[in-house]
Amino acid sequence: MTDHFDVLAIGNAIVDVLASADDDFLTSQAIEKGCMRLISAEEATALYAAMPPGREISGGSAANTTAGIAALGGRAAFIGRVSDDQLGRVFAHDIRASGVDYRTPAASGGRPTGQCLIIVTPDAQRTMNTYLGSCQELDEMDVDEALVKAAAITYFEGYLWDPPAPIRAIRKASAIARAAGRKVAMTLSDVFCVEGHRADFLHLLESGQVDLLFANENEAKSLFRTDDVAVAVDGLAALAPLAVVTRSGKGAVVVSGSERAAVPVTPAARVLDTTGAGDLFAAGFLTGYTQGRMLKDCAIMGTIAAAEVIEHYGARPEADLVARVQARLG
Amino acid sequence: MTDHFDVLAIGNAIVDVLASADDDFLTSQAIEKGCMRLISAEEATALYAAMPPGREISGGSAANTTAGIAALGGRAAFIGRVSDDQLGRVFAHDIRASGVDYRTPAASGGRPTGQCLIIVTPDAQRTMNTYLGSCQELDEMDVDEALVKAAAITYFEGYLWDPPAPIRAIRKASAIARAAGRKVAMTLSDVFCVEGHRADFLHLLESGQVDLLFANENEAKSLFRTDDVAVAVDGLAALAPLAVVTRSGKGAVVVSGSERAAVPVTPAARVLDTTGAGDLFAAGFLTGYTQGRMLKDCAIMGTIAAAEVIEHYGARPEADLVARVQARLG
């Protein structure tokens, strides 16, 4: 069977609109810097009208991760809902042209394709304002049982935890994967998601439904309501067989039982736009993991992929990631 | 009256789709490198399906020029037709957010907003494949007499010379501008345009309807069917009070009667994507001209604006052009 995948990802199908602006713009719009927030269609229209000129580049956290996996030589598939409109065609084109298997049918007649209005400040920080649009219409019917069984890892994003239908889609995929002896991976996505769905996320972990968890330091601390990263790391170790905590400029820590392996960041040639750094870290780690590499090398692959994506605008890789990994790890 | 403009530009309202690919891709698609060609909706669909992932960034030659003028501190307006669709809203947002006055109503129910599928090769050359879409629906009714009268210069692009309605729009604008004692400027746009409309372009020049002509070396040579750039330059001198010939890496020559002033290029920090270099040269020159600068300094401003736009993807300025001009010319 040729349809074997290293990773099947389920996430929001989003086109990013990236604009450069200074901190004063965020203040004038009463937007907290560095976060992700959900906005309504009306809020999106008003914010877009106030924004500087943009660049439209396909995004979506888990979708970016699959584009990264494909760029690293892995086999990836994606499930997520666009609308049958121009931006939906942009999303579908770009993810397929990245080498990712993408077959979710576009919705018609409903909300437009989801967009993330991203303000990139001079310090390269990204502040995200997401209008989910048709992403909310993803449902169980879009989860193809054969596709889940064909993937070594099914990976989903915490960002999906808002409307009920996508959550049902994840539960279905997760159940199929576990029944088939496949691994399930998850990212907590954002402090905003953890704060809104802490009980759900903890239940998923406590009931052993997640084999591999990705979180950044702030998300991990929020999950356990602690300011102490060591407490958060120990908390994750107790709830997931394998967890990876990313720490921005301080690198990442791999957590497995009582073992801890820390890796530093891979320096970027320049830091222009940090959008997608976490998504590409997950891409590197997951690709290394499905290649059977040592956990520390998986994390190094994550830092290599993250370093590339922050060197340019947009959350998907542009440079030759395979060459960068080979130069570092062979 | 506050509605005074330095430049009113009339052109195709286009959203660019920029993708990086090697020369083999162009060969496989039987596309000649470095040129612009018009493609049908069907050809656009087929080429897009074959293209690598893209970045959508507002473009259009004369529209890019107005964005450059605004970035340089000038007052610019633009006339060009989008459709009432997502990419039309992207175009309208971006040009307004650049500080350009843009009021042309969007077409509804007809062709979609025009797109230019641009392949950027590793040598930073751009090869353009344009689906005009709703641009073809621009007509005389879109030319507001008061707006033309309010602009010191009315500037239009040779790219408009394809369907009949936009040509009528230019003729109307040109007649209003001349009757009001305003200047008319034009770019030959592309060898493709010159070859298709040589007689029309020569007639415009010979009848004294163009005060300021922009051409690159190849367009000028094509206009006079010569391989000798000196012959072409002398030909322009005989037909236009003022002409500027851009010569890629060799800089530009300002041509006025028997006078010739050559300026070298301004070095770019890096050369990533040459899309928009000619458009931004025109922006720099026109801004300097409306500021009353010496012609040589106008050309230097052109090279400064062109150098910035080739340092990044996309044909509109991202850096502080006013600061760059002040650093060089005061």
Instruction: Report domain extents, chain A.
Output: 5-329
Q: What is the pLDDT of residue B13?
A: 98
Is the separation of the CB atoms in B87 and B113 below 8 Å?
yes
> What is the rounded CA–CA span in Å between residue B316 and residue B320?
12
Q: What is the pLDDT of residue B162?
A: 85
Q: What is the pLDDT of residue B257?
A: 92
Query: Which CATH number is A5-329's, of 3.40.50.720, 3.40.1190.20, 3.40.50.620, 3.40.30.10?
Result: 3.40.1190.20
What is the topology classification, in CATH, of domain B5-12+59-106+138-329?
Answer: UDP-N-acetylmuramoyl-L-alanine:D-glutamate ligase (3.40.1190)
Helix axes A277-290, A295-309, angle to 10 degrees: 150
Average pLDDT over residues A264-272: 95
- CB neighbour list of residue B292: distance below 8 Å, 6 or more residues apart: none
Nearest to A56 among B19, B51, B90 (CB): B90
Nearest to B86 among A51, A55, A87 (CB): A87
> What is the rounded CA–CA span in Å between residue B85 and residue B90?
9
Tell me the torsion sign for CA atoms B8, B147, B256, B300.
negative
Dig out the tokens for B121 from the structure.
Answer: 């090769």
Mutate which: A56, A84, A91, A111, vs B, most B CBs within 10 A: A56
Å between A97 CA and nearest CA of chain B = 5
The secondary structure of B316-330 as a DSSP string is S--S-HHHHHHHHH-
> What is the rounded CA–CA span in Å between residue B175 and residue B237?
22
Q: What is the pLDDT of residue B35?
A: 86
Residue type, A51: M
Contact: A112, B86; criterion CB under 8 Å: yes
**What ipTM was predicted for this assembly?**
0.94
Q: What is the pLDDT of residue A324?
A: 97
Output phi, psi for A233, to 5 deg: -65, -45
Is the separation of the CB atoms in A79 and A169 below 8 Å?
yes
- Please name the helix (run of DSSP H) or strand (run of DSSP E) that holds residue B142, with its range, or none: none
| Cα B152–chain centre separation | 18
Task: Put residue B102 in one of left, alpha, beta given phi > 0 → left and psi -120 to 50 → alpha.
Answer: beta
List b or e across B128-164, with b for residues whose CB sees 16 or more CB atoms inside 10 angstroms. bbbbbbbbbbbbeebbbeebbbbbbbbbbbbbbbbee
Is the separation of the CB atoms in B61 and B278 below 8 Å?
yes
Is the separation of the CB atoms in A157 and A164 below 8 Å?
no
> What is the rounded CA–CA span in Å between residue B225 and residue B222?
5
Is the separation of the CB atoms in B192 and B223 below 8 Å?
no
Residue type, A267: P
Residues of chain B with Cβ-Cβ distance to A49 below 8 Å are 93
Per-residue pLDDT of chain B (330 residues; tens, 9 = 90+): 446 999 999 999 999 999 999 999 999 999 999 989 999 999 999 999 999 999 999 999 999 999 999 999 999 999 999 999 999 999 999 999 999 999 999 999 899 999 999 999 999 999 999 999 999 999 999 999 999 999 999 999 999 998 889 999 999 999 999 999 999 999 999 999 999 999 999 999 999 999 999 999 999 999 999 999 999 999 999 999 999 999 999 999 999 999 999 999 999 999 999 999 999 999 999 999 999 999 999 999 999 999 999 999 999 999 999 999 999 998
How confident is residue A156, by pLDDT bands cut at 50, 70 and 90? very high
Residue B227 buriedness (CB in 10 A; 0-12 / 13-18 / 19+): exposed
Contact: B93, A58; criterion CB under 8 Å: no
Task: Put residue B112 in one of left, alpha, beta given phi > 0 → left and psi -120 to 50 → alpha.
Answer: beta
Q: What is the pLDDT of residue A3?
A: 60
Å between B59 CA and nearest CA of chain A = 11
* Helix-strand-coil split of chain A, %, nearest 5: 45, 20, 35
Residues of chain A with Cβ-Cβ distance to B269 below 8 Å are none
Read off the pTM: 0.96
> What is the rounded CA–CA span in Å between residue A177 and residue A34?
34
Contact: A54, B93; criterion CB under 8 Å: yes
> What is the rounded CA–CA span in Å between residue A68 and residue A279?
8
Which 2-41 residues of chain A touch chain B by CB within 8 A? 19-20
Q: What is the pLDDT of residue B330?
A: 86
Residues of chain A with Cβ-Cβ distance to B51 below 8 Å are 93, 97
Is the separation of the CB atoms in B88 and B21 below 8 Å?
no
- Return the residue of A nearest to B56 by Cα: A56
Contact: A93, B57; criterion CB under 8 Å: no
- Return the residue of B nearest to A315 by Cα: B55
Which 97-126 residues of chain A touch chain B by CB within 8 A? 97-98, 112
Q: Which residue in this structure is represented by tokens 């598939």?
A: A77
Residues of chain B with Cβ-Cβ distance to A111 below 8 Å are none
Per-residue pLDDT at A1 exceeds 80: no
Å between A150 CA and nearest CA of chain B = 26
Helix axes B295-309, B277-290, angle to 10 degrees: 150
CB < 8 Å & 24+ apart, contacts of A169-173: A169/A10, A169/A79, A169/A138, A169/A139, A169/A140, A169/A142, A169/A143, A170/A10, A172/A140, A172/A143, A173/A8, A173/A10, A173/A79, A173/A143, A173/A148
Nearest to A97 among B52, B87, B318 (CB): B52
How confident is residue A330, by pLDDT bands cut at 50, 70 and 90? confident
Judged by a CB distance cut-off of 8 A, whether residue A55 touches chain B is: yes
Judged by a CB distance cut-off of 8 A, whether residue B86 touches chain A is: yes
- Give the C-alpha distances (Å, rounded to integers) separating A286 from A73, A101, A154, A232, B117: 12, 17, 11, 22, 33
Spell out the alpha helix ranges (H) of chain B. 23-28, 41-50, 61-71, 86-97, 145-149, 164-179, 191-206, 217-223, 229-239, 277-290, 295-309, 321-329
Contact: A55, B52; criterion CB under 8 Å: no
% of chain A residues with pLDDT over 70? 99
DSSP B123: T
Residues of chain B with Cβ-Cβ distance to A52 below 8 Å are 97
